[in-house]
Amino acid sequence: MLDRLDQRLRQLIKEKNWSKLTNIQEMSFEPISNGHNTLIIAPTGYGKTEAALLPILNKMLKEDVKPVTVIYITPLKALINDLLYRIEWWSSRLGFLVNRKHGEVPQKEKNLRLKRIPHIMVTTPEGLEIDLDWASRFREHYKNVRWVIVDEIHELINSKRGTQLAILLERLKNFIGYDFQRIGLSATVNDEKKVAKFLFGSSERKMSIIRLNDSRNFEIRIHKIDHNVPSLWKNAADKINQLIERPTLVFTNSRFSTERLHEELEKLGNKEIYVHHSSVSRDLKNLAEGELRSGNAKAVVCTKTLELGIHVGDIKKVIMLRPPTSVASFLQRLGRSGHLVHGVPKGEIICFYDFDVLEAFALYLSAKNGEIEKPFIDDGLDVVARELVGMILQNQKVGIEEAYNVIHGAFVYRNLEFSKFMELVNYLAKNNIIKIEDDSLKLGQGFFKIWRFNRDIKSGWGKDFSEFFSLINNDETFTLKYNGVTVGEIDAVYVYKHVRSNDVIRISGKFWKVVRINTNKNTIDVTPANEGEGEIPIWKGENTSKSSLMVEYIKKIMRDINEYYLLMNEIMDKNSKESIMKLISEYGKRGLDMPTENVILVENKEDEWIYTVLIDEKVSNTLSHILLYLVTKKYTLNASSRSSIYGFSVKGTPTDLLKEIINMDESKIKKIILKSILRSPVYVATLKEILPSFGKISKVNQSEDKFLIREALRQTIKRYFSIRKTLEFIRKVKEGKIKIVYTENAGPLTEAILAHAQIRPWLFDLNISIYHSLKGGAYTVSELSEILGVSAKSLENKLKQLRRTNGKYKVMSFVDVDSRENRWCLYEDFIEIVKSEEYYSSFAPLNNNEIFVADFKSGDNEVEVLFKPIDLINNPEEILRKIPFSAIEEVKIREAIDTSYQFVQKYYHVGKDVIVYLLLNAVAYLQSLKYS
DNA sequence: GACCTGCTGCGGTTTG
């Protein structure tokens, strides 16, 4: 191939001291030179960038090209910076200009590109979005583009960023009017044809896939440490300390673990060890990366931040603290070591729990078999909506037909029907973010309500316009405040799902008790607390969503454990092997069937039911949501459930609700599934995420926003639930193909289920919940607090608020004379309660002839009325006549002779229709105090 | 419900 390169390029290769090109570079030359759309698949560090670049530069030297000739898209800012120097090395020597664009590039450098138009533009998907939508002058130069390179596609394809980019490429093609050549660079993927189609979209060029697949070539060792000890983290650090070979990357699954392990490693006297995760400042991250590259670092403890493509130098070994949650992630982490010296990637997995060993082994087997998760392409209509507005920004208006054709050209939306597209367009027009004029779309006034253009105004309504270009959703957070001072931050979804009043939260090494959750301001008022009061770690536990591919391999291991005996000796330490053998033999010992996909072990402890079964996490999640829905409907709102690949559980029910589900007909189950998802925290989060793209600012309305609700529901189900597989699961149970076994002790995997955080129902409308809980009865605040799972303090505030209202939700309180407690009930129920046997004594004075005084107040009006209980019974009309207003804000009752005001009973916000009974209640109560 | 990623263009005016 070298002989086909331009002399000037050959000279540069000599200058680089390259004796030959890498395999992948050799293989890519032909198809790229022939103008094919090309997908190049190889691990990081095999020179994929040059594989794409060399044939293009070769063409650029031979043909007459005008800037901008090449757009190079990559998902990370740090990668752009790396690439700029790498590409510039070649291009500057060949007389081509390069420019980069991302949010942190200084304005000066950005401005330069209009004065000296670059041949190669390096940017992010968001950068391209800005250029097409907004950069009115520079955009014109894109008309000369002949090649687009997309780097790290495997990172983009699973998210809305990838979908956004797919549409942007179609928009670019439409804008240029030329079918430019598309080149993709990717790590190992499951479905390479799909990835290729995703990238190539409507392009009519021939396509080629170039692959260098040696991902099965790696060495791994699995270790298990004792987790049932307070020194867990020290044990982990000790183990890791022995295994480190300078330089090592230690991957964890959470920011918390990263910090915690780093602390212990430092205690062991290690100095050249650094931490790297998203909450570490940019400077410290740069330091860690630099020390890694220079070889000064002994190890860096990190999260997924270092899993991505940033060049980190020659890594000797990779250690994973607890197994990652997917094969893809496992391979990416592993691939960070070894390849540069053409050695074999080397990795160690440190396990805490028995099921960690199962998972680690499953990852190993799957990777060795060359199996990896399928890409999950997001086809959200919010992305289409955002791009439609982008197209309008670009040209002030866009033809409906043209817009549809561009969107439809993207592989993701190849099945989007015109009628569905028009539904979207009409909904956007209804929200006034766009307007329809003849056959075209223009910007609507609503656009300026969603997007804020004034850089100086930081607060107020709307989102900053800079966010328009990005589909990455900044997680909504709650700020923790103590006496108005911020003490920390928590993810909103976590709050919706797990945090309730009176819970204790740990943040920044301290414990805080939740006093009030304010969903309008996204704040949580807290007070300091002690550890003993219970704890919810804000780092969300390590309750990850695990790949179904891993579940398949776990089933295999549990079923055919004997086949793996030798292999286990080879790749595991003694502890790991023993723990896995013990876990599996435990079932036989107890005379239990193995919990596979065909056996559910059911264990019941008081009101909690635990169902152990190896299962797709989406099915597990669906089932746990149905169960939660049923418990809240039948028994209590103070319920919770859990879900995992090892099964699911529900708390708050005296009966086995799974049995009940199995006896329902399918259409009813379907209905319940939908209802339970509509109540789920993940649905709330999805709805909030897509609102701005649809131009929605006011409250979502059941009938007006059907389109939006349907879309949010569709996206939520696609991401987190599976209706089809759940129904299939239930059907199999019905048909006896899945066996249910009831047992006192369902064995070791229940631990894995209970390790997951509880899902709790989010009370969308506390008024409704209070109404349903109170209906037909009278409860004390603490009883009601127990029923609803809401703190007594916030509940009392809410009740006092409801007392002031009118209508269905109006409440009131009276004294239960027997227990001397205040009881709350619905206003509409009060007369019934008065007449009930249960509260008879509360409205029956002991002495009907004593004289009492009642002070009625309403606004500025006040009136004092003297009465005897006997009058209330015999002639209530007379008393009522003495009150000159119908709505009583406050009434104070005391014995006429008691001028010390020592015993006073008060009621607030009541009508004249119930006042006679309340006066009787007050008298009965005051007399009971006096005579006792 | 773990982790991660990105984020105004252009042109005119002012200032040391």
Distance separating alpha carbons of residues A163 and A406, to the nearest angstrom: 13
pTM here is: 0.81
A427 and A521 in a single domain? The answer is no
Say if A385 falls within a structural domain.
yes
Within 7 Å of a protein beta carbon, the nucleotides of strand B are 1-11
The nucleotide closest to A451 (CA, C1' atoms): B8
Say if A104 falls within a structural domain.
yes
A22 and A138 in a single domain? The answer is yes
Distances (CA, A) of A773 to A414, A500, A516, A608: 49, 18, 21, 22
Confidence band for A789, pLDDT divided at 50, 70 and 90: low
CA of A479, C1' of B14: distance in angstroms: 41
Instruction: Give, in degrees to the nearest 5, the angle at Cα A227 between A223 and A233.
Output: 85
- The residue from A146, A176, A211 where one domain ends is A211
A199 and A309 in a single domain? The answer is no
A159 and A292 in a single domain? The answer is no
- Tally of structural domains, chain A: 6
Structure tokens at A36: 């094919």
Distances (CA, A) of A300 to A219, A231, A237, A348, A350: 20, 22, 13, 15, 16
CATH number of the domain to which A408 belongs: 1.10.10
A40 and A20 in a single domain? The answer is yes
- Which pLDDT score is estimated for A509? 43
Say if A789 falls within a structural domain.
yes
End-to-end CA distance of chain A: 106
The helix (run of H) or strand (run of E) holding residue A504 is strand A504-507
Instruction: Work out if A687's Cβ lies within 7 angstroms of strand B.
Output: no
Say if A584 falls within a structural domain.
no
A10 and A154 in a single domain? The answer is yes
- The residue from A725, A754, A783 where one domain ends is A754
* Between residues A417 and A786, the one the model is more confident about: A417
CA of A243, C1' of B2: distance in angstroms: 25
Say if A233 falls within a structural domain.
yes
Residues 442-461 of A with CB under 7 A from strand B: 452-455
A635 and A662 in a single domain? The answer is yes
Structure tokens at A439: 């056959």
Confidence band for A758, pLDDT divided at 50, 70 and 90: confident
The Cα diameter of chain A in Å comes to 118
A57 and A82 in a single domain? The answer is yes
Distance separating alpha carbons of residues A760 and A350, to the nearest angstrom: 32
CA of A107, C1' of B11: distance in angstroms: 14
Statement: residue A756 has pLDDT above 80: yes
Instruction: Work out if A253's Cβ lies within 7 angstroms of strand B.
Output: yes
Distance separating alpha carbons of residues A591 and A430, to the nearest angstrom: 63
The number of C-alpha atoms within 13 Å of A902 and in the hemisphere containing its C-beta is 6
CA of A110, C1' of B11: distance in angstroms: 14
- Which pLDDT score is estimated for A809? 86
Task: Give the domain range for residue A238.
Answer: 219-368
Say if A376 falls within a structural domain.
no
CA of A134, C1' of B7: distance in angstroms: 13
A198 and A231 in a single domain? The answer is no
Say if A550 falls within a structural domain.
no
- DSSP one-letter string for A42-57: --TTS-HHHHHHHHHH
Which pLDDT tens digit goes with each residue over A73-100? 999 988 898 899 999 999 999 999 999 9
Confidence band for A4, pLDDT divided at 50, 70 and 90: confident
Amino acid A553 reads: Y
- Which pLDDT score is estimated for A849? 93
The number of C-alpha atoms within 13 Å of A528 and in the hemisphere containing its C-beta is 3
A779 and A926 in a single domain? The answer is yes
CA of A568, C1' of B7: distance in angstroms: 48
Length of chain A, in residues: 932
A399 and A526 in a single domain? The answer is no
Residue nearest to nucleotide B3 (CA to C1'): A304
Say if A650 falls within a structural domain.
yes
Instruction: Work out if A464's Cβ lies within 7 angstroms of strand B.
Output: yes
A39 and A151 in contact (C-beta within 8 Å)? no
Cβ neighbours around A221 below 10 Å, total: 18
- The residue from A727, A754, A781 where one domain ends is A754
Instruction: Work out if A771's Cβ lies within 7 angstroms of strand B.
Output: no
Instruction: Work out if A625's Cβ lies within 7 angstroms of strand B.
Output: no
Confidence band for A798, pLDDT divided at 50, 70 and 90: confident
Residue nearest to nucleotide B2 (CA to C1'): A544
A886 and A903 in contact (C-beta within 8 Å)? no
A420 and A200 in contact (C-beta within 8 Å)? no
Instruction: Work out if A78's Cβ lies within 7 angstroms of strand B.
Output: yes
The nucleotide closest to A455 (CA, C1' atoms): B8
Instruction: Work out if A241's Cβ lies within 7 angstroms of strand B.
Output: no
A515 and A403 in a single domain? The answer is no
Residue among A928, A931, A930 nearest A820 (CA): A928
Confidence band for A535, pLDDT divided at 50, 70 and 90: very low
Which pLDDT tens digit goes with each residue over A208-242? 999 987 777 889 999 999 887 878 899 999 999 99
Instruction: Work out if A130's Cβ lies within 7 angstroms of strand B.
Output: yes
CA of A710, C1' of B11: distance in angstroms: 45
**In the structure, how many helices (H) and strands (E) does chain A have?**
36, 35
A685 Cβ neighbours under 8 A, 6+ residues apart: A476, A492, A493, A496
Q: Give me the helices (H) in A607-745, please.
A: 617-634, 657-662, 666-678, 681-690, 706-720, 723-734
CA of A381, C1' of B3: distance in angstroms: 25
Statement: residue A442 has pLDDT above 90: yes
